[in-house]
Amino acid sequence: MTAPTFNQHYPYPAPIDAYGNGGFRFAGMSHRGSLLLLPSGVWGWDVTDPAGLTVESFAKVLGEHDRIDALLLGTGATQVFPGPALRKAFIEADIGLEPMSTGAAARTYNILQAEGRPVAAALIAVA
């Protein structure tokens, strides 16, 4: 297994303006691929399939555990529940883990982020 890469970074939290066609629009920019939306900003995320999620996939999220109450996990076109090891890692980090479709996660993130809540999102891109 290779370590996750967080290849691109926008240094501010930003709402999602649009999603689909394999990417996202935010802050007047577009990004092809999946994203992590964290207190430290928006990060490119090399995850393409919820079946491949591991604890290592969330290294950046877990590294900011003291600034996040909940992670909205957008698992693509449909809701996919994470396995026990991933759920355990989030329980130990005291971060709520909320899996849902990517569209639902993006919409929910926008609302909670606008309210100033300590929320993050991990969004797998959808076609």
Give per-residue pLDDT as tens, 38-91: 999 999 999 999 999 999 999 999 999 999 999 999 999 999 999 999 999 999
Does residue 27 lie within any of the structural domains? yes
Does residue 23 lie within any of the structural domains? yes
Q: What is the CATH number of the domain that holds 101?
A: 3.40.1230.10
Say yes or no to pLDDT of 3 above 70.
Answer: no
Average pLDDT, the chain: 94
Task: Tally the C-alpha atoms within 13 A of residue 66's C-alpha that lie toward its C-beta.
Answer: 1
Helices (H), the chain: 59-63, 84-92, 102-114
pTM: 0.93
Say yes or no to pLDDT of 1 above 50.
Answer: no
Number of domains in the chain: 1
Does residue 1 lie within any of the structural domains? no
Residue span of the structural domain in which 23 resides: 9-123
Does residue 45 lie within any of the structural domains? yes
pLDDT interval class at 8 (50, 70, 90): confident
Does residue 42 lie within any of the structural domains? yes
